[in-house]
Structure 1
């Protein structure tokens, strides 16, 4: 039984996606699913109870109806394998947003997804809409800002509840496949906390001895370059295709699931050849290599969102890590190394009383760096623009930069501001 909310701005295509999910489950599985339409259902309840449209009611009456709505969701959850609800976090109101997401919404759903349809498509859908015609003059820039606002706010809420906000895209077929996989395999393969507990148990003997654990990203952290691109080039996967999956710095389970689906179609021989080619082109950071060699009393764990096959070969050759975790290209999936996964590993180690040092270079690493006792950014050749934007947005952080190099982030540490 699972209650799943799919959020997104108006005209993102939430209804269309949910209808396709239900059709897929009906055609290919024995699983049952129901779509509860958020706005439509609230209006129906409003007419039944108050003989008025929902939006015309006083806030006290709306609160009653929202509570009634969550009761309906819970009731249907006992009847169906999957309850899907299309939700609105906010509505655009000039240059600001009217938030309609409530405490009831926050607590009723098991998982939160966000349908991040391209802004130009949403504008087109708004212009051509034949139903309730809203946002007819909305621009791509306004849509882009609206989506960023919603994703940032929902991400904060999900983080508070130790959940991942999964970002979907306009690729309906892939999104449907992923939602089915999530429904079928979340507990066993996609729950980061479960894997973090399993990981600690498996390596307990190794992890209990040292007081300090180093968690370190691989591509563009341990190495100057990103071996994933060489790997994909050999497999015939264009760099542009890979970048399009992660466009706008989206690094959730869904994106890594899409990439895994690209990899697993390849023959094992081709994967091995590609990994070896990537190994030949890996350029290790001497600064990082020397830093790790000096940490003699620490356990070093490589945690890469790149390709496990490449970094296994790197580790066989250079003996960098005591343990390596990474995304597989094999047909069977054990876990996905997402930002949320990295954070869960760091949190589990801290919960066990370990002093966690985390090192990374990109937005994929930020949650891990923030939760660690000491989080360090690495910038070998140039600054990561998304990381720069993040630092500007949060204002202050307890992340430091490792190594005194020519390119430096403008890091304003929270502890320094407190002292000031």
Structure 2
């Protein structure tokens, strides 16, 4: 026997006098009756109570709950049988005459059937006036009391809806005519009515078809990246997602989209701009993306639970053609979609159906369906403070059960390490990375003869004049990074120089180039001292500064380091620009942490 899909049931809620009955009657004129069924909640409760609201009002609390449960169950049963979406007026709480405060009448049974609740909100003054104009008897309340009552209802409804996966929309309708309210609500209800997993999949497929239609006929491989906590260390939506429900379910993502819509287009745009300015792609993946972009037979797609607009802007400087499949709450109702874990796997499958090889990059269990589906899978391990806590266990299980047939490759961003050996190792790795990726571009490569793994002579490459290049770490803080550079260029000379005077003319006369290494470059004063010393003795010798962090203002037009670099013809290779400024004593705090002398230097 075929199981019927439960119907969508949309509740119209709000305080007495807000205009729910008027709204329902107008919706009957605006929405097609072959798709929607309309219910006055009080009538349904009266029917469940034997046809009389007095019976309901005079019953005890438990009996009232049974009547309400029967009423909403009847609505759900009728709508499921007809295939229609139900629209029901209702109350979360009610104030009876003589009662000191409103009593909650919303029951657990209603949480089992409602899929959406639209809560109508207006100022206390407006509702107070509406109640005065209403011919029905209303308990008289002052505007301030009405405002407190409405705020309490919303505050209590939010966690109930989020826990039970009921999509909640709170709409302010003050100063709006009844017909305008009805038109806004009708549009929202149409959006809710159209939402379904099948339609969501169809819309994503349409987006993918558009992507494929724009690709070269030589396309062979597609690199798919998750966004938040994969391409960057942070979750770009975390500062906005203040509601609490489990996971990235379809309902959770649609609730997020609805919240974005409710703040309005201008506020949403401003929020996206703020997030974008603070979002930076991790260097390792930035380089992979840049490399992929250079080849006609490869392409990049970002498939993210986050906001499409944010990632399109973040990637604009990296990619000529930015392809992002992500959530955009401002899409028209007929084209909107949300990205779920299943969506990511479906994207991989659609690419593979076209004969394309897929590389999948992700960071959490939510990405595992995509990772498992990919031809190659890369697990990105970010900072310890932000990485997924459950991924290690889930990943081990996936490898063990064979759903990830080969061992996942790990890409690690520089980690937050406070233990000095780990910090020194991290700095050494940064040195290796900068040497491998950038220093050779400045100083050039030359062919050399080398032994291959079979013990035979072969042609290889090394840094030009490698044995005549001098590496000098500045202060002790630059030493671990300098070791990383020298590990890449094994024949370079390594000089410990506490001050520029330690670099004698004898040292400099033997050099074809000098590499100065510093963990942090702030004003550039120390660099300037060494460069001035070198230029006084060797005017034309190439000088390269390798740094972990460079203070951003110092390299901008007019900045001290920029001026020095242009004047002395030096190149600067850095992992990161920072807006932070350090002002302190000669021995930097970085050096103290690298060599575990912070406690000694604080005395």
TM-score, normalization by structure 1: 0.54
Q: State the match for 1:137 in structure 2.
A: 141
Q: Deviations over 1:78-119 (max 9, x none)?
A: 236121111111125877441111111111222222222343
Which of residues 269, 273, 284 is equivalent to 2:277?
A: 284
Q: Given the superposition, is the C-alpha separation of residues 333 and 69 from structure 1 closer, same or farther in structure 2, using an over 3 Å criterion?
A: same
* Residue 156 to residue 163, structure 1, CA distance change in 2 (3 Å): same
User: Residues 9-158 of structure 1 correspond to what in structure 2 (within 5 A)?
Assistant: 9-26=15-32, 31-48=34-51, 52-77=54-79, 78-79=81-82, 81-92=84-95, 96-134=101-139, 136-139=140-143, 141-158=144-161
Aligned position for 1:6:
12
Q: Name the counterpart of 1:238.
A: none
* Cα drift, residue 24 of structure 1: 0.9
Provide the rounded CA distance (Å) in 1 between the counterparts of 2:263 and 2:91.
Answer: 26
Deviations 1:307-346 (A, max 9, x none): 82x7524421257x99673527676633379xxxxxxx99
Residues 15-71 of structure 1: per-residue CA shift (max 9 Å, x gap): 222222221124xxx63433222223323443548x943111123432332232133
Q: Secondary structure at the match of 2:277?
A: coil
Kindly report which structure 2 residues correspond to 1:11-410, keeping only aligned pairs within 5 A, or say none.
11-26=17-32, 31-48=34-51, 52-77=54-79, 78-79=81-82, 81-92=84-95, 96-134=101-139, 136-139=140-143, 141-170=144-173, 171-187=181-197, 206=224, 214=233, 216-217=235-236, 253=258, 256=261, 284-285=277-278, 289=280, 292-293=282-283, 308=309, 312-317=312-317, 325-327=326-328, 333-335=335-337, 349=366
In 1, distance between residues paired with 2:382 and 2:156? 28
Offset of residue 259 of structure 1: 5.6
Alpha-carbon distance between aligned partners in 2 of 1:116 and 1:97, rounded to the nearest angstrom: 17
The one-character-per-residue Cα deviations of 1:261-298 (angstroms, maximum 9, x if unpaired) are 9x9xxxxxxxxxx99xx99x99934xx549x4488899
**Distance in 2 between residues matched to 1:346 and 1:259, nearest whole Å:** 32
Q: Contact 2:171 / 2:262 at 8 angstroms: preserved in 1?
A: no
| TM-score using structure 2 length | 0.39
Question: 1:67 & 1:52 partners in 2: Cα distance?
Answer: 17
Cα distance, 1:179 vs structure 2: 0.7
Shift of 1:14: 1.7
- SS at structure 2 position matched to 1:12: coil
Answer yes or no: is the 8 Å Cα contact 2:229–2:235 preserved in 1: no
Indicate the SS of the match to 2:118: strand
- CA deviation string 1:94-152 (max 9, x = no partner): 77441111111111222222222343321221222111222x2321x322222222222
Shift of 1:252: 5.6
Counterpart contact for 1:7–1:86, Cα < 8 Å = yes
Q: In 1, are the aligned partners of 2:11 and 2:118 still within 8 Å (CA)?
A: yes
Structure 2 CA distance for aligned equivalents of residues 38 and 52 of structure 1: 15
Distance, in Å, in 1 between the alignment partners of 2:190 and 2:263 is: 13
Contact 2:303 2:325 in 1 (8 A): yes
Alignment-derived partner of residue 410 in structure 1: none
Q: Which has the higher contact order (CA 8 A, sep 6+)?
A: 1
Indicate how the Cα distance of structure 1 residues 184 and 20 shifts in structure 2: closer, same or farther if over 3 A, else same: farther
Q: For residue 325 of structure 1, give the secondary structure of its aligned residue in structure 2.
A: strand
Partner Cα separation in structure 2 for residue 328 and residue 62 of structure 1: 39
Structure that is richer in helix per residue: 1
The answer to whether the 8 A contact 2:224-2:303 is kept is no
- 1:357 is displaced (CA, Å) by 8.1
- Aligned-partner SS, 1:11: coil
CA–CA distance in structure 2, aligned partners of residues 357 and 7 of structure 1? 44
* Structure 1 range deviating more: 12-21 or 323-332: 323-332
SS of 2:82's partner is coil
Unaligned runs of 5+ in 2: 1-6, 174-180, 209-221, 241-254, 290-301, 340-361, 372-378, 391-577, 581-603
Unaligned residue ranges in structure 1 (runs of 5+): 222-249, 264-273, 338-344, 359-368, 375-402, 406-420
Asked which structure has the greater CA Rg, the reply is 2
Structure 1 distance, partners of 2:263, 2:335, is 12
Q: How many residues align?
A: 299
Contact 1:215 1:346 in 2 (8 A): no
Residue 255 and residue 146 in structure 1: after superposition, are their counterparts in 2 closer, same or farther (change >3 A)?
Answer: farther
SS in 1 for 2:117: strand
